[in-house]
Amino acid sequence: MIDTLLDVNVQGISFHSVDPRRALWPAGLTMPMVVPVCLVALTLGAPAWAVAIAPLVLLFGVCTALDHLFGRDHRNVSLEIVLELEGDPYYRRLLFLVTSLFALSLVLACRIAASGVFGPVQTLLFGLGVGLIHAPLVLIGHELGHARSQRDRRVARIALGLIGYGHFSIEHNSGHHVHVATARDPASARYGESIYRFALREIPGVLTGALVAERARLARKGLPFWHWRNTILQSWSVTALMALAVTLAFGPVALGFYALVCAAVWFTISMANYTAHYGLARRLIEGRREPCRPEHSWNSSFFFSNLLFFNLQRHSDHHTNAQKPFQTLADVDGAPELPSGYPGVFALMLVPPLWYAVIHPILLQAIDGDEARLNTGHQA
């Protein structure tokens, strides 16, 4: 049992003098291990259809069940050790390792798809599942993309490049964090907007915003868009190298499968963005937008999925303190709480009437019925 050295308990949130989850963060390594296990299962004669749906079943079924089995985790680290944890290389090394394992997992997934073991429908299901379980690469890019270290930002570009999402960090840092929970932000979902309509608005909106922001950044340095210092192009070069490698190794079928996985990752990140700020708005007060506070982001304190997703679900603290690394993000008062971890709410949102029936009562209670706090898409 980990020594948690409990200091104080305030309104159900406990504060600890050591990281109570330190030995458990390697649980995030289980995500990139799914594909190697699938390959072993096929080698041992497992039915192709069972392997094809395994990633989807593991994420939507097993992960959701484990979330509710283990329940919520309100433990925080005390302020006295935040700087110590921020400087501890253990956490960065873990993210670097996970990135490497995800790269290997992608190659193995392309090998499986190109082997001919699956029919068309099985390949589609397997590709969607592989995309879902590789979406944490964007979370790693998100985490390291906020870091001050140039090395960390380079690894972020590699992680994002592996799944063709190299534009993410630019728009996220310069656009999303500025306009979050307003109608101007393509990554903030509006009240009554389905995940499908949101994705059609968010995916091109984030891409366009990133290209505009990077062009402006380079122009301020007197550089053209097509320059080696363009961080989006740097990341997309990783995508091109990955596509070339799997094509040369396994043929054109692998290239098509790789494109399917990247598309599935993009949609998965749309689901995460949809979840993070659905229906929440920052009010206009005397003509100015109020600062981003915990009530403008949805939180989920479920223990298991927060381990898998490196505390992404403690999203309110992230938007209040964007530079904080994942290991120090806090469970904060005043944030609306999701009824499940991300795997569970992802399943809900795929059926919009079910999503509305579950989330709207929680949302309306969270904003105390104040329509000025509801993002309808009509605010200035």
What's the chain's Rg over C-alpha atoms? Answer: 21
206: containing domain: 6-373
3-state helix, strand, coil in the chain (%, to 5): 65, 5, 30
284 pairs with which residues across the strands? 289
Look at residue 333 in the predicted model and tell me its pLDDT.
Answer: 80
Contact in structure between 41 and 51 (CB atoms under 8 Å):
yes
Which amino acid, 313? Q
Residue 160 lies in a domain: yes
Contacts with 181 (C-beta within 8 Å, 6 or more apart), sequence order: 188, 277, 280, 281, 282, 292, 296, 297, 375
> How many domains, in total, are found in the chain?
1
Give a yes or no: residue 277 inside a domain: yes
Is 127 among the domain residues? Answer: yes
Identify whether 269 is part of a domain: yes
Residue 262 lies inside a defined structural domain of this protein? yes
Domain annotation covers residue 1: no
- The reply to whether 165 falls in a domain is yes
Q: What backbone torsions phi and psi does residue 8 show, to the nearest 5 degrees?
A: -155, 155
Instruction: Return d(Cα 267, Cα 195) in angstroms, integer.
Output: 9
The tens-digit pLDDT sequence of the chain (380 residues) is 333 444 444 445 666 778 889 999 999 999 999 999 999 999 999 999 999 999 999 999 999 999 999 999 988 988 888 888 888 999 999 999 999 999 999 999 999 999 999 999 999 999 999 999 999 998 888 788 767 778 888 888 999 999 999 888 888 777 788 888 888 989 999 999 999 999 999 999 999 999 999 999 999 999 999 999 999 999 999 999 999 999 999 999 999 999 999 999 999 999 999 999 999 999 888 778 888 888 989 999 999 999 999 988 888 888 887 778 889 998 888 789 999 999 999 999 999 999 999 999 999 999 988 888 899 987 65
CA angle 4, 145, 318 (to 5 degrees): 50
How buried is residue 223: exposed, middle or buried, by Cβ count under 10 Å (0-12/13-18/19+)?
middle
- pTM higher than the cut 0.85: yes
